[in-house]
């Protein structure tokens, strides 16, 4: 024996007196195949979710030239605006953009002027949306932002 190595360790008997069972030898690749199949399904799920996420937004204008804007047909020039009139204007503008508005409700607005903001709620193409309406001036120009 080499001087740097000691004697071999003695065999330790099992704690309960019986032989230690060994794991059965498996020649299958079931776990590897299962992992591969689950990974492929997860990747497919991520791709499907990405496609749905980027194609479902009716008001998503990431590829267009700017935000969705419009103007009231009869601007009350600083006077109060009824919620029904605003809902009709917002619905009409969204429908012009290709959305299918099945319901839209807006609160009454105290006055139309630059910096006035209100939030409308509705169902557009089957999905619930909150639409922030930013008034740009007292003539009734507005910008829509979906939430």
C-alpha 98/C-alpha 125 separation (Å) is 9
Written as tens digits, the pLDDT of the chain (147 aa) is: 556 666 666 666 556 655 656 666 565 688 888 889 999 999 998 888 888 777 665 455 444 556 899 988 876 666 788 999 999 999 999 999 888 999 999 999 888 888 899 999 999 989 999 999 999 988 889 999 988
Q: What is the largest CA-CA distance in the chain?
A: 104
Token couple for 35: 């992992």
pLDDT at 128: 93
**Using CA atoms, how far apart are residues 98 and 96, in angstroms rounded to an integer?**
5
Considering Cα of 106, then 107, then 112, then 118, what sign does the dihedral take? Answer: negative
pLDDT of residue 5: 65
Rounded to a whole number of angstroms, the CA Rg of the chain reads: 33
What is the pLDDT at residue 74? 77
């Amino acid at each position: 024996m080499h001087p740097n190595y000691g004697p071999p360790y003695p065999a330790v008997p099992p704690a309960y007196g019986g032989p230690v069972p060994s794991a059965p030898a498996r020649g299958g690749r079931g776990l590897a195949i299962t992992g591969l199949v689950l990974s492929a399904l997860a990747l497919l799920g991520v791709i499907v979710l990405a496609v749905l996420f980027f194609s479902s937004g009716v008001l998503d204008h990431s590829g267009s030239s700017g935000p969705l804007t419009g103007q009231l047909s009869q601007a009350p020039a600083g006077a109060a605006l009824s919620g029904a009139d605003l809902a009709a204007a917002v619905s009409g503008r969204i429908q012009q953009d290709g959305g299918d508005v099945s319901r839209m409700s807006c609160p009454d607005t105290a006055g139309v002027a630059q910096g006035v903001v209100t939030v409308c709620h509705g169902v557009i193409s089957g999905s619930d949306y909150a639409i922030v309406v930013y008034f740009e001036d007292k003539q009734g120009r507005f910008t829509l932002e979906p939430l």
